[in-house]
């Protein structure tokens, strides 16, 4: 597959379906930075370690660095997303490429779902919306044969990893921190954990970029290959720097706008954290995300961070967690796969009928 910048520009200016798919990919990346990245800084804002505006700008910078640095190191997440669906049965070399149209429909559905979630202040997972949307579109075009289940099963692993490991590690680290700092003066502890919260927020933003940036990078590469009538996976050990920078910049700009409703829902409404609990939640979630990224498992940064916060809150007192808010979040997460997938399926059928 030709990944040169000149070839990209030529395809963008000469192929309307390709141009639309790239615009939609960038729109979804932007929305992800706007609505999903705020989860990374929710704890440092809620504990007042940082003001919201400064935290949002910090997250924008570290989201950019996360995509850039981690993709240069390993692109396993991008490869997993790329290989998750198969449009080979419908790919044709013509001006009216049904596979490209289907990809556009999937991305359009993801934007609808993510924007609706932001409007209602629900921290849904754009990662799972992306997976559900692309999968729904692939099924609309080729039935269940459009899904590569050997890759898709990694999503199930990731769902369990982000939920269970996030909660357990958040709980355990809080308990460990309480033991280590039990004889430390309150003044020193507050100073330490205030700085730790800032470092933890930066770490979470970095790992959000590493995870989610690669997911959308994989979709962009999928669009580029379909536009060229190819379905063979590119070499993910040598992703061009210009693609990485483009994805990084768009996600960073989206984050800079800020998702204050999401920050409030995750960091304030769900559980009231002290600084050491916020630090523990960030440390736990960052570790889970690093492990997942290095092993190529596409987990949800939203799931990982929120379950780590639940674990950190429950470690002190189970009743300190607002389980009503937790229930609403889990309901939204559960609905993402069938909801976004169904929207993508319907939109794909409509787009293909109208444009081919």
Please give the average per-residue pLDDT across 224-236, as a whole number.
Answer: 65
Q: What pLDDT score was predicted for residue 94?
A: 45
pLDDT digits (tens, 9 = 90+) for 83-131: 777 766 554 444 446 777 888 888 888 888 877 776 776 656 777 788 8
Cα–Cα distance, 214 to 244 (Å, whole number): 9
Q: What pLDDT score was predicted for residue 93?
A: 45
Q: What pLDDT score was predicted for residue 265?
A: 56
Cα–Cα distance, 204 to 187 (Å, whole number): 26
Please give the average per-residue pLDDT across 323-352, as a whole number.
Answer: 81
Q: What pLDDT score was predicted for residue 237?
A: 60
Q: How far is CA 241 from CA 47, 65, 116, 217, 238, in A?
A: 37, 13, 33, 11, 9
Lowest model confidence (mean pLDDT) among 57-71, 119-133, 182-196: 119-133
Lowest model confidence (mean pLDDT) among 38-42, 105-109, 158-162, 195-199: 38-42
Q: Which neighbouring-strand residues pair with 271?
A: 321
pLDDT digits (tens, 9 = 90+) for 168-186: 999 999 999 999 988 888 8
Lowest model confidence (mean pLDDT) among 94-103, 127-136, 221-230: 94-103
């Amino acid at each position: 597959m030709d990944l040169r910048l000149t070839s990209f520009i030529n395809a963008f200016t000469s192929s309307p379906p390709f141009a639309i798919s790239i615009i939609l990919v960038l729109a979804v990346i932007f929305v992800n930075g706007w609505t999903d990245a705020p989860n990374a800084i929710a704890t440092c804002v809620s504990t007042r370690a940082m003001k919201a505006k400064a935290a949002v700008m910090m997250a924008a910078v570290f989201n950019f660095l996360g995509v850039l640095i981690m993709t240069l190191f390993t692109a396993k997440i991008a490869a997993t997303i790329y290989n998750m669906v198969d449009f080979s049965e419908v790919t044709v070399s013509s001006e009216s490429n049904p596979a490209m149209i289907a990809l556009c429909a999937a991305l359009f559905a993801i934007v609808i779902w993510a924007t609706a979630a932001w409007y209602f202040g629900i921290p849904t997972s754009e990662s799972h919306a992306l997976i559900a949307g692309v999968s729904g579109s692939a099924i609309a075009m080729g039935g269940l044969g459009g899904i590569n289940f050997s890759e898709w099963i990694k999503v199930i692993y990731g769902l369990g990893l982000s939920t269970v490991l996030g909660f357990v590690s958040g709980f355990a680290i809080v308990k460990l921190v309480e033991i280590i700092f039990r004889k430390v003066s309150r003044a020193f502890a507050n100073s330490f954990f205030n700085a730790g919260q800032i470092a933890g927020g930066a770490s979470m933003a970095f790992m959000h970029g590493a995870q989610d940036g690669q997911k959308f990078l994989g979709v962009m590469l999928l669009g580029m290959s379909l536009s060229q009538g190819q379905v063979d996976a590119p070499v993910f050990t040598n992703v061009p720097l210009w693609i990485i920078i483009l994805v990084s910049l768009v996600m960073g700009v989206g984050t800079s706008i800020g998702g204050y409703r999401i920050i409030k829902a995750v960091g304030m409404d769900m559980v009231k954290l002290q600084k050491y609990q916020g630090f523990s939640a960030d440390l736990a979630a960052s570790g889970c995300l690093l492990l997942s990224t290095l092993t190529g498992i596409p987990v949800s940064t939203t799931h990982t961070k929120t379950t780590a916060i639940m674990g950190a809150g429950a470690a002190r007192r189970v009743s300190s967690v607002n389980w009503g808010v937790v229930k609403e979040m889990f309901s939204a997460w559960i609905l993402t796969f069938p909801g976004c997938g169904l929207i993508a399926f319907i939109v794909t059928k409509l787009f293909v009928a109208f444009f081919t």
